[in-house]
Amino acid sequence: MRSWVPMAVIATAVVVCQGSLARAAWMSDERVWRMTAGAGDDDVALLAVAFAPTFRTTVPASPEKLSGLRRELRGWLAAVGTDDDAASDVLLACGEAAANAVEHAFPEDPGELTVELRLSADRRLTLRVTDTGQWRRVPAPGDRGRGLPLMRAVMDSVLVEPGEGGTVVTMQRRLARV
């Protein structure tokens, strides 16, 4: 006898899978087990859809916001499954890009910075840090010379695009499966 999976169950699975690959994998296992429980030796087809996990947050471009940003990012990196070295690298690259945005912002009108991450199905992580505040024409004094080389050392690619309204930093890094 053939078992039919009701469409409602598939729809539910798709909705629940959104957000994290780790959770999607876990949900799929659970669904397969439940749906095939009465199927005996019949063939069962299951359509599993996992959305690319994404992260997006916007905070004021102020120094005291950096630690909260890292905390959020750590949680997301753990949820998508990242080994310790890669998590530390992504955190550092993001932290440096965000710190650059903070350091170039006017203290009296810091504007905002947005951090976006997207992990593709082939585990390619794209990290984008965008600031929407005004920028000083002259870099702020300090020791920010180390930031960019660090970002380049830990990511596969780093693209810095200064624009009229601010700067967009786009970085990529391939993550191992864990």
Q: Judged by CB under 8 A, does residue 89 bind another protein?
A: yes
- 22's CB contacts (< 8 A; 6+ apart) are 79, 80, 81
Which tokens hold the place of 12? Answer: 């539910």
Which tokens hold the place of 147? Answer: 């930031």
Size of the site for another protein (CB under 8 A): 26
What does DSSP assign to residue 36? T
Site string for another protein, 4-43 (x = CB under 8 A): ----------------------------------------
User: Nearest-CA neighbor of 62 among 19, 98, 97?
Assistant: 98
Q: Which is nearer to another protein, 118 or 144 (CB)?
A: 144
Burial class (CB in 10 A: 0-12, 13-18, 19+), 161: exposed
Site string for another protein, 43-82 (x = CB under 8 A): --------------------xx-xxx-x------------
Binding site for another protein (CB under 8 A): 63-64, 66-68, 70, 85, 88-89, 91-92, 95-96, 99, 102-103, 142-147, 149-150, 153-154
